[in-house]
A and B are shown apart, each in its own frame.
Chain A
Amino acid sequence: MAKDTQYLLPAAIAAVLATCLQLLGAFQIADGLIFDRLSVRPTDAYPEVVIVENAEATSAADLAQASFVLGAQNVVFLSDPEGDFSALPPRYLARTKLGYLVPASASGNFSIEMAVPAKVPGHPERLPRAAPMAEYGIHRALPTGIRFDARRLGMLETSVADVRPASDKYYIPMPRNLSFAVLTSEQIMTGNLAEGDLAGMTVLVATPAELRSNRVTTPLSPDTAAVPPAQFSAYAMQALLTNTSSTKFSLTVAAALIFATAILCGLGLIFTRRRIHSFFLSGAFIVGIMVSGWIVLETAGRILPFGGMLSALILSAFGTVALQGRRKDLRLERALVPAIEQTVSHTAFRNRDTLPDLFTATAATAGIAKMLLLRPRKRARPDVLASIEAGISDLDESAFYELFRNFDGSPSIMSADAGDVLPDWPGNVRLRTIGSRHEPFLWLYTFGDHPEAEGGEFIAGSIAQSFLALQISHASLSAQQRGLRAVDPVDFRVVNAIELIARHGRQLRKAVDQLHSAVMVFDVVGFPLHANPQMIDLLEAADLNPQTVLMSQVIESLTELTDGQAEALLRDVLREGGEASATVHGIPGLNATLRIASPDPAVSARENVVVFEVFDTTELARLSDLRRAVSEFVDVQMRNDLETIALGAALARKSDGNEGRRLRMIDRIVQATQTATSRLDSMNALARNVPVANEFTAHPIQLAPIAEKVRAQLVDLAASYEVEIELNLPGVSGYSVGDPFVLSKMLEALLRLVIADSPPESKISVSLVEEAARSRINVTGGFGMARERLKQAFAAPPRNEIPEFEIIKESALVITGWGADFTYESETGRGYNFELTLRRIV
């Protein structure tokens, strides 16, 4: 809350500003117009004033007396008729007033500008009358009184109504439906009216001139001077008599109202969280001001400082919302910038200090023979940030400074000839200005003079562009981190960060979309931009840091390629674009391929990334193994069958008249042929099923290699338990029916169970016995557990703890489909005996 009070500052400033403007009269028009809109509204009140046009021939006293006889409350002569009122009875005399027009006073002190008529006994009271007061051309007010010789004289209208408004001037409502009757003095005098027709009315006697000339503009007709002085005065008297005149608040009260409005608005918006709510709240305040203004005007006859209050409200609202927005931006910036920097620091930012090293490594990989990466300094030798087979002494300094003089610091990825600067370097020496405007670098390089050197310019351009982009992003994003004033707004920096992180997202997505693949994206400079979790696992398993690893290190660690081969492969990909791949090694149980891809730099200069992808080919390898097993089986069996046929044919040929033997041999040949045909049919069906990866269809397989492979996978695990796995296998395995993948997993799970429950220095036996029609694999050893407990574990495997039970249970279900069987015996202290029995192909 303490912090929130800061938001009241705009409200306070708005209040002061609006009050000052109010005091300076800046809102007179606005206030007047609002008052006019309210004051011309129709009224239910009846006219209290009747206007009488006085003909010169009519005696003023007679007219007054006649009016009183008809019931008039007061008789007011707008100007002195200079008549003899001596005959007027005293009771009428007291209620007869004579007005005299006071001159306009610039100073407001009428003592020197007019003379107050002396009071004459037997003559009606003379009272000053002011001309209507205009505010920006609209006449709507009259003064309450005038100062005269330190006295304050009441005005004609206020004296008649015997009302003293609370301000120096009062505002006169002029309802559209209110009209005053205008009679002639003859009508009063000739008895056309009955007694009582003027009961309670104030008779305003005006000359023809006062009824027709000197007309003024009023709220009723702001564009036309339509209201004569008599009518204006009648409106004033009506307002005073009916107590509907209005006055403005004093400046103190007006200022207080303006302040209250601004502060209330500010407070309301502070607690409004959403911009749309602020908008509605401000609207509600405006409506509230208008409604309350109307109520105050109607009930108390006071005019609110509408202009000041509305201005204060609007200024306060804008100021508060702007401050909220700014503070929100600052908060966002405080929260976001470190987050951005932390995110980005995992890649490019952290490696910024190693940028020259990465740059050098990538340049060398790209085939650059010599290079210098320089940071120019004024009036000093440049700093060498990175180099390949070169030194600062290679520079022709005069040529370099000549070049540097023309260098305006603007980064550019276009290269220029720099042969003069480095006259001893071979080939086409080029210069590129890279880096940011604030931290420019000069990159001098050559690909040497071998025949393929020309083709290197594209990759040099890619490297330069990528380097430049990283520098710009870094300069923008790290300003605050380095204690400098952030020159870019937060949204710009967010965009920069997003661009940096999501740069080349198309390739990234394409790569990541590969099922089960591990993907890493490098900037062409060599920055690791992104590695997905699978790739991070792979790199960490190879003791590589995913945030600092070099491209060549990835290749060397994951494949069997040598340092030189990896460099050559990378160079080809960088320079020519396209893909290269190598077999991944060293990942137990996994057949995988490393694919390295990069767009052709000559075609796609902006997409300068290199994508590394390791994808699992285990399934492909499994299918390949199955195909091989099927073909080997067919090969073996067909050789046997053909051999039988050949033997039968040879014997038939040697029958030499022994018809019985000849027929017997033919019968054997037919038998062998049928067997061979039957085998081919069954193999054909199996071969068709092989590509269906997820159906563990049974195939002719050799069990001994499977057992050897599983043992190899678990040697390290067994060693960690100080347990030895002993294999007892046939020298050459025959063919049984099953799926190698399922059997491998099941055998591995069985062995893991036994290993985990084996005492140190013990042996686990895996034996394979192939009988005439069955093959048996036995896994024996371990400490063992009660058979019932083991049975229960297989029936309801404990999830998330020991997955082996689940694997064995599911595999056992699959193998029964092949006519195989899984049985087990176990006893605590006597060990396990798991037995897999499979059909053997005879």
Chain B
Amino acid sequence: MTAKAILIVDDDELRCELLAELLEDEGYEVRIANDGEAGLADVAHNPTDLILLDIIMPRIDGVRFLQALPQKLDNPPPVIVISGSVDSVGGRSLEELGVARTVRKPIDPADLIEQIGALLQDRAGG
């Protein structure tokens, strides 16, 4: 069975490193992009099953990323937003922007792994 590919889009390199190690321990294939622009480029060229997205980032922030993602891919992967306080942008909720789930910072590693698993299982089942 091929490992599920997860793309982490976050400008905090240390957090990305730890998150990637956590997910790799769970058997996922993890890639990292440190801003929205790099993330869009990565997802356009590599098959991706799930995206973990931070909102506040340089160059292209998380919201712009969400807006641009459907334009890059016909069938974009689900996105889990890891956010501290952002629930909506410009009067639109994150769900309306295509976000599958939102995880509040600071994340509980076990809870994150559980949500990722559940989401991927839903996608596989759906």
How many angstroms between the C-alpha atoms of A732 and B109 in the bound complex?
A: 25
* A639 contacts across to B, CB distance below 8 A: 84, 105-106
A833 to chain B, nearest CB (A): 20
Interface centre among A635, A640, A731 (most CB of B within 10 A): A731
Is A97 part of the binding interface, using a Cβ–Cβ cutoff of 8 Å? no
* B59 contacts across to A, CB distance below 8 A: 769-772
Quick one: which of A646, A651, A731, A770 contacts B106, CB cutoff 8 A?
A: A646
* A636 contacts across to B, CB distance below 8 A: 56, 84-85, 105
Contact indicator A647/B107 (Cβ below 8 Å)? yes
B86 to chain A, nearest CB (A): 6
Contact indicator B58/A646 (Cβ below 8 Å)? no
Fill in one digit per residue for A758-776: 1 if any B CB lies within 8 Å of its CB, else 0.
0000000000011110000
* B63 contacts across to A, CB distance below 8 A: 730-732
Contact indicator B64/A734 (Cβ below 8 Å)? no
Contact indicator B18/A772 (Cβ below 8 Å)? no
Quick one: which of B61, B82, B85 contacts A731, CB cutoff 8 A?
A: B61
Fill in one digit per residue for A218-235: 1 if any B CB lies within 8 Å of its CB, else 0.
000000000000000000
Is A642 part of the binding interface, using a Cβ–Cβ cutoff of 8 Å? yes
Interface centre among B12, B89, B90 (most CB of A within 10 A): B12
Contact indicator A643/B14 (Cβ below 8 Å)? no
Contact indicator B106/A734 (Cβ below 8 Å)? no
B79 to chain A, nearest CB (A): 14
Given the interface pairs A640-B15, A731-B64, the reply to whether A650 lies near B110 with Cβ below 8 Å is yes
A420 to chain B, nearest CB (A): 67
- In chain A, positions 96-141 with a C-beta closer than 8 Å to chain B are none
Contact indicator A731/B62 (Cβ below 8 Å)? yes
Is B21 part of the binding interface, using a Cβ–Cβ cutoff of 8 Å? yes
Number of A-B pairs whose CB atoms are under 8 Å? 91
How many angstroms between the C-alpha atoms of A840 and B90 in the bound complex?
A: 22
Contact indicator A644/B61 (Cβ below 8 Å)? no
* B56 contacts across to A, CB distance below 8 A: 636, 732-735
A774 to chain B, nearest CB (A): 9
Is B22 part of the binding interface, using a Cβ–Cβ cutoff of 8 Å? yes
How many angstroms between the C-alpha atoms of A37 and B80 in the bound complex?
A: 126
Quick one: which of A671, A730, A734, A772 contacts B14, CB cutoff 8 A?
A: A671
Fill in one digit per residue for B3-43: 1 if any A CB lies within 8 Å of its CB, else 0.
00000000110110111011001000000000100000000
Is B55 part of the binding interface, using a Cβ–Cβ cutoff of 8 Å? yes
* A644 contacts across to B, CB distance below 8 A: 12, 14-15, 18
How many angstroms between the C-alpha atoms of A47 and B85 in the bound complex?
A: 131
Contact indicator A640/B105 (Cβ below 8 Å)? yes
Contact indicator A731/B67 (Cβ below 8 Å)? yes
* B84 contacts across to A, CB distance below 8 A: 635-636, 639-640
Given the interface pairs A650-B22, A650-B110, A732-B55, the reply to whether A643 lies near B85 with Cβ below 8 Å is no
How many angstroms between the C-alpha atoms of A640 and B84 in the bound complex?
A: 8
- In chain A, positions 730-763 with a C-beta closer than 8 Å to chain B are 730-735
A634 to chain B, nearest CB (A): 11
How many angstroms between the C-alpha atoms of A770 and B17 in the bound complex?
A: 23
Is B74 part of the binding interface, using a Cβ–Cβ cutoff of 8 Å? no
Is B57 part of the binding interface, using a Cβ–Cβ cutoff of 8 Å? yes
Given the interface pairs A651-B18, A671-B14, the reply to whether A646 lies near B85 with Cβ below 8 Å is no
- In chain A, positions 828-842 with a C-beta closer than 8 Å to chain B are 840, 842
Contact indicator A643/B67 (Cβ below 8 Å)? no
Is A654 part of the binding interface, using a Cβ–Cβ cutoff of 8 Å? yes
Report how many residues on chain B are interfacial, defined by Cβ distance under 8 Å.
35
Contact indicator A643/B57 (Cβ below 8 Å)? no
How many angstroms between the C-alpha atoms of A772 and B89 in the bound complex?
A: 22
How many angstroms between the C-alpha atoms of A645 and B73 in the bound complex?
A: 34
Contact indicator A643/B15 (Cβ below 8 Å)? yes
Is A648 part of the binding interface, using a Cβ–Cβ cutoff of 8 Å? yes
Contact indicator A734/B15 (Cβ below 8 Å)? no
List the A residue with the shortest CB-CB distance to B90.
A731
Given the interface pairs A636-B84, A731-B89, A734-B56, the reply to whether A651 lies near B62 with Cβ below 8 Å is no
Is B108 part of the binding interface, using a Cβ–Cβ cutoff of 8 Å? yes
B49 to chain A, nearest CB (A): 21
Contact indicator B109/A646 (Cβ below 8 Å)? yes
Given the interface pairs A636-B56, A647-B109, the reply to whether A732 lies near B89 with Cβ below 8 Å is yes
Quick one: which of B21, B22, B61, B107 contacts A732, CB cutoff 8 A?
A: B61
- In chain A, positions 493-529 with a C-beta closer than 8 Å to chain B are none
Contact indicator B58/A651 (Cβ below 8 Å)? no
List the A residue with the shortest CB-CB distance to B17.
A668
Quick one: which of B12, B21, B89, B108 contacts A640, CB cutoff 8 A?
A: B12
Is A810 part of the binding interface, using a Cβ–Cβ cutoff of 8 Å? no
* A642 contacts across to B, CB distance below 8 A: 105-106
Is A78 part of the binding interface, using a Cβ–Cβ cutoff of 8 Å? no
A712 to chain B, nearest CB (A): 14
Given the interface pairs A651-B22, A840-B58, the reply to whether A730 lies near B108 with Cβ below 8 Å is no
* A643 contacts across to B, CB distance below 8 A: 15, 82, 105-107
Is A449 part of the binding interface, using a Cβ–Cβ cutoff of 8 Å? no
Contact indicator B57/A646 (Cβ below 8 Å)? no
How many angstroms between the C-alpha atoms of A578 and B109 in the bound complex?
A: 57
Is A146 part of the binding interface, using a Cβ–Cβ cutoff of 8 Å? no
Quick one: which of B18, B35, B58, B60 contacts A648, CB cutoff 8 A?
A: B18
Is A454 part of the binding interface, using a Cβ–Cβ cutoff of 8 Å? no
How many angstroms between the C-alpha atoms of A635 and B60 in the bound complex?
A: 22
- In chain A, positions 285-335 with a C-beta closer than 8 Å to chain B are none
Given the interface pairs A647-B107, A650-B110, A668-B14, the reply to whether A730 lies near B19 with Cβ below 8 Å is no
How many angstroms between the C-alpha atoms of A731 and B89 in the bound complex?
A: 7
* B109 contacts across to A, CB distance below 8 A: 646-647, 650-651
List the A residue with the shortest CB-CB distance to B20.
A647
B22 to chain A, nearest CB (A): 6
5 residue pairs A–B, Cβ–Cβ below 8 Å: A640-B106, A646-B107, A771-B59, A772-B58, A842-B11
Q: A731-B67, A735-B56 are in contact. List 18 more A-B contacts (CB 8 A).
A: A632-B85, A635-B84, A640-B15, A642-B105, A643-B15, A643-B82, A643-B105, A643-B106, A643-B107, A647-B19, A648-B18, A654-B25, A668-B14, A730-B60, A731-B62, A732-B63, A733-B61, A771-B59
For the complex of A and B, list the 3 residue pairs with the smallest distance between their C-beta atoms, beginning with the closest. A731-B63, A643-B106, A639-B105
